[in-house]
Amino acid sequence: MDLLDALRAESGIVAVVGAGGKKTTLYALATRAAGGRAPRAVVTATVRIPIFDRHVESVAVTDDPIAALERTTTWPVGVVPEREGDRYVGYETETVDALAAADVADVVFVKADGARTREFKAPDDREPQLPRRVDTVIPIASVHAVGTPLSEESVHRPARVAAITGRDRGDPIRPVDVARVLASERGGLKGVPDGATVVPLLNKVDDADLQATAEEIAEELLARAPAVSRVVLARMIADDPVVDVVEA
């Protein structure tokens, strides 16, 4: 299945949250959208994001992203308000809402939280930073987290994950633990506005054993989250990243 179709990421504001492949997913979606039916594809953030110039045609550092996009002729394009060292700063969520409402882009892909390169996470009190007009939210987790200890080495904010799952620090992460976090309103569903579509993504499904693990997570997640109707299994570094789509 096409990645945009699988993740229901063809238009509007699409926000990625979680851990284990957010940036890779953002760039893959933007490239595919710009080359197809949503050519005016934009990458931005409401939190800090590493420099991503090589993943788009250009990046405009601007306080007026609407004006910058009105002048854009090559896509996909990034818009950010400021650079600080090796990262860009994110916009306020209201700015992204206004950008989407201005009809200067077909689809706006947004990094809406951070994970410090970990495989799995739960959000803190200030996360995620979701625009009010968000159409699709993609909570991400890496299946590589399964079997690793619930610790800071592979988990961002392990205490928050422990609070959702009931597990102790240092316990091995189980498929059900990943499902619980992604299905929780303190986890993958945190802050999602009414009416937004949620499509969880299980990333790094690199072989048959990991696919079996991902399928177990997906089935458990669908059973726990009635608002979720599909879970995408993927290997986002692949040319054809969608491994499978598990539906309720």
Question: Taking a C-beta distance cutoff of 8 angstroms, is the pair 34, 56 a contact?
Answer: no
What per-residue confidence (pLDDT) applies to 187?
Answer: 98
* Residue range 210-238: mean pLDDT, rounded: 98
**Other C-beta atoms lying within 10 Å of the C-beta of residue 86:** 8
Percent of the chain with pLDDT over 70: 100
Residue 143 has phi, psi (to 5 degrees) of -70, -15
What per-residue confidence (pLDDT) applies to 118?
Answer: 97
In this structure, what CATH number is given to the domain that contains residue 112? Answer: 3.40.50
Burial readout 131-142 (b: 16 or more C-beta within 10 A, e: otherwise): bebbbbbbbbbb
Q: How many CA atoms lie within 13 A of 119 on its CB side?
A: 19
* Residue range 136-153: mean pLDDT, rounded: 98
Per-residue pLDDT of 183-219, as tens digits, reads: 999 999 999 999 999 999 999 999 999 999 999 999 9
State the alpha helices, DSSP H only, in the chain. Answer: 3-7, 22-34, 65-70, 93-101, 158-165, 175-183, 208-224
For 196, the domain range is 3-247
- Furthest CA-CA distance within the chain: 53
Query: For the chain, how many structural domains are there in total?
Result: 1
What per-residue confidence (pLDDT) applies to 31?
Answer: 97
User: Helix, strand, or coil here: 13?
Assistant: strand
Question: Can you tell me the distance from the alpha carbon of 80 to that of 175, in angstroms, rounded to the nearest whole number?
Answer: 36
- How high is the mean pLDDT of the chain? 97
Question: Taking a C-beta distance cutoff of 8 angstroms, is the pair 1, 245 a contact?
Answer: yes
Q: How many CA atoms lie within 13 A of 200 on its CB side?
A: 37
Per-residue pLDDT of 64-104, as tens digits, reads: 999 999 999 999 999 999 999 999 999 999 999 999 999 99
**Measured CA distances, 131 to 98, 113, 122, 169, 185 (Å):** 10, 12, 19, 33, 17
Q: How many CA atoms lie within 13 A of 117 on its CB side?
A: 2
Per-residue pLDDT of 5-42, as tens digits, reads: 999 999 999 999 999 999 999 999 999 999 998 999 99
